């Protein structure tokens, strides 16, 4: 951080929430995992949370749905503004997020103005750009949601069409990048989990990555584990992302690692797409499995691909079991049908989006996988810092 930036915002250690950050870091018992959560990350994440509040309010203003003193409910906004039913999912998120921040207050089913001031979008965006330049791409993505809000809530365009239009691809290449600390944290924690599995392996260690996207997850794993990975199969279904991912994986791999690539749609039988059963030590996915329409099917397919004693490693946002408030990262993805249109289950998948440790455990165990652990222990840490939402879930096959 530059001297001028320190003058404007202070160092992360001088952050108003520095005491909370210290408490969080102390709650991460594993020293190697704790190292992935420096004050720098925590300060940037808190800034992003305030940016989400500013964005949520701007979107409501753009569509004429900011509550007055009389209040408004989701159903009233839906009726008054002729919002299609499916669009009420992100609308509910916007109200709930602002209610959680105190900008709004929930009175039964209605939301009224609260006592907390709305953060200024431009000011918070500038702070994020200074604190963490690699994460500033989120400003452009959130700005797109604001600009296209009327079209989206009128049902004139789907979120996938808006956010993943061809001209938006450069934004996602920056967002799904190891230069973006707010995203790369999942890659780092996932690579940490895989490194521990590799240390247990005898001889070979072969990884199948599902939904590899732009390749930042593969890049992190291959650079972290180096020659410990003997074979890495990178898969992605979207051609535009796959080309970038393949290049990233190949460039990051050790000379002794065999890198393969393939197009695999996780929602269809994997063996028919070239994934031979019982051939991988680890099946790996970063921020991917939670969008599976039928998560039970995907996890069962992953289990089939494992060698005896192999493991599935899922690294992504993990919702603490006791956390009922919205996760700020969901603002982008709640606009996507692919994120919300999933099969639910009262125990294994109570809602769309990010799963709790309990839900992951039930899902993996139903597929015959055991020894389900979360690295780090999200629920334990959330007792000290309720908004901690990063973890790698590891589930093992029988030997």
Q: What is the pLDDT of residues 64-89, one digit of tens each?
A: 999 999 999 999 999 999 999 989 99
Cα torsion for 135, 53, 92, 374, to the nearest 10°? Answer: 50
Average pLDDT score over the chain: 94
Instruction: Give the residue with greater pLDDT, 53 vs 13.
Output: 53
What is the C-alpha separation between 294 and 283, in angstroms, rounded?
17
- Work out the average pLDDT over 50-64: 98
Tell me how far apart the alpha carbons of residues 329 and 323 are, in angstroms, rounded to a whole number. Answer: 14
The pair of three-digit structure tokens given for residue 379, joined into one six-digit string: 């629920």
Report CA torsion sign: 241, 246, 247, 251.
positive
The answer to whether the beta carbons of residues 183 and 216 sit under 8 Å apart is: yes
pLDDT for 278:
98
Check: CB of residue 214 under 8 Å from CB of residue 248.
yes
Residue 155 has pLDDT above 80, yes or no: yes
Per-residue model confidence (pLDDT) at position 1: 42
Q: How confident is the model at residue 10 (pLDDT cuts 50, 70, 90)?
A: low
Higher pLDDT residue, 202 or 361?
A: 361
Cis peptide bond N-terminal to 376, omega within 30? yes
Strand order in the sheet with 110-113: 72-73, 110-113, 104-107
Write out the chain in H/E/C secondary structure: CCHHHHHHHCCHHHCCCHHHHHHHHHHCCCHHHHCCCCHHHHHHHHHHHHHHHHHHHHHHHHCCCCCCCCCEEHHHHHHHHCCCHHHHHHHHHHHHHHHHCCCEEEECCEEEECCCCCCCHHHHHHHHHHHCHHHCHHHHHHHHHHHCHHHHHCCCCCHHHHHCCHHHHHHHHHHCCCCCHHHHHHHHHHHHHHHHHHHHCCCCCEEEECCCCCCHHHHHHHHHHHHHCCEEEEECCCHHHHHHHHHHHHHHCCCCCEEEEECCCCCCCCHHHCCCCCCEEEEEEECCHHHCCCHHHHHHHHHHHEEEEEEEEEEEECCCCCCCCCCCCHHHHCCCHHHHCCCCECCCECCCCCCCHHHHHHHHHHCCCEEEEEECCHHHHHCCCCCCCEEEEEEECCC
Q: In what order do the strands lie in the sheet with 206-209?
A: 258-262, 231-235, 206-209, 280-286, 306-317, 390-396, 370-375
What was the pLDDT predicted at 14?
77
Q: Which domains does the chain have, with CATH numbers?
A: 3-175 (no CATH), 184-396 (3.40.50.150)
The predicted model gives 45-71 an average pLDDT of: 97
Q: pLDDT digit string (tens) for 282-296?
A: 999 999 999 999 999
Q: How many residues can be counted in the chain? A: 399
pLDDT at 15: 83
Q: How far apart are CA 301 and CA 283, in angstroms?
A: 10
Kindly state the greatest CA–CA separation across the chain.
68
């Amino acid at each position: 951080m530059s001297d001028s930036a320190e003058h404007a915002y202070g160092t992360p250690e001088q952050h108003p929430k520095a005491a909370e950050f210290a408490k969080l870091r102390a709650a991460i018992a594993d020293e190697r995992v704790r190292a992935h959560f420096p004050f720098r990350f925590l300060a940037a994440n808190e800034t992003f949370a305030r940016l989400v509040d500013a964005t949520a309010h701007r979107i409501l203003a753009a569509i004429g749905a900011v509550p007055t003193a009389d209040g408004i409910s989701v159903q009233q906004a839906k009726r008054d503004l002729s919002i299609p039913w499916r669009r009420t999912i992100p609308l509910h998120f916007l109200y709930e997020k602002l209610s959680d921040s105190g900008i709004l207050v929930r009175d039964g089913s209605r939301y009224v103005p609260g006592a907390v001031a709305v953060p200024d979008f431009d000011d918070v965006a500038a702070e994020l750009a200074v604190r963490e330049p690699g994460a500033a791409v989120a400003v452009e993505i959130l700005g797109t949601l604001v600009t296209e809000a009327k079209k989206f809530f009128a049902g004139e365009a789907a979120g996938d069409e808006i956010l993943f239009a061809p001209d938006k691809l450069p934004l996602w290449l920056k967002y799904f990048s190891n230069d973006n600390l707010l995203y790369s944290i999942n890659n780092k924690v996932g690579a940490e989990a895989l490194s521990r599995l590799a240390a247990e392996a005898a001889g070979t260690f072969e990884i199948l990555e599902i939904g590899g996207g732009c390749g930042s997850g593969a890049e992190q794993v291959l650079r972290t584990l180096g020659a410990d990975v003997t074979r890495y199969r990178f898969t992605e279904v979207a051609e535009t992302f796959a080309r970038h991912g393949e290049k990233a994986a190949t460039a990051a791999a050790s000379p002794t690692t065999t890198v393969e690539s393939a197009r695999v749609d996780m929602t269809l039988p994997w063996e028919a797409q070239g994934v031979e059963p019982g051939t991988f030590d680890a099946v790996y996915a970063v921020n991917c499995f939670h969008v599976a329409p039928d998560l039970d099917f995907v996890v069962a397919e992953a289990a089939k691909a494992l060698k005896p004693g192999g493991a599935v490693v899922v690294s992504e946002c993990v919702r603490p079991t006791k956390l009922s408030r919205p996760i700020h990262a969901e603002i982008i993805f709640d606009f996507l049908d692919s994120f919300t249109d999933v099969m639910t289950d009262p125990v294994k998948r109570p809602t769309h989006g990010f799963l709790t440790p309990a839900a992951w455990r039930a899902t993996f165990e139903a597929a015959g996988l055991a020894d389900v652990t979360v690295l780090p222990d999200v629920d334990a840490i959330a007792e000290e810092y309720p908004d901690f939402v990063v973890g790698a879930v590891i589930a093992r096959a029988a030997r």
